[in-house]
Amino acid sequence: MPSILHMIADASTYLTWGWLSVSVPNLIVILLMILVFILAIVIPFPHDGNDTDDQGSTK
Helix (H) or strand (E) holding 30: helix 24-42
The reply on whether position 17 binds another protein by CB under 8 A is no
Q: How far is CA 17 from CA 21, 39, 50, in A?
A: 6, 28, 52
Asked if 21 contacts 12 with a C-beta cutoff of 8 angstroms, the reply is no
Query: C-beta of 19: minimal distance to another protein in Å?
Result: 5
Q: Please report whether residue 4 would count as binding another protein according to CB under 8 A.
A: yes
Give the residues lining the site for another protein (CB under 8 A).
1-5, 7-8, 10-12, 14, 19-23, 25-26, 28-30, 32-33, 36-37, 39-45, 47-48, 50-56, 58-59
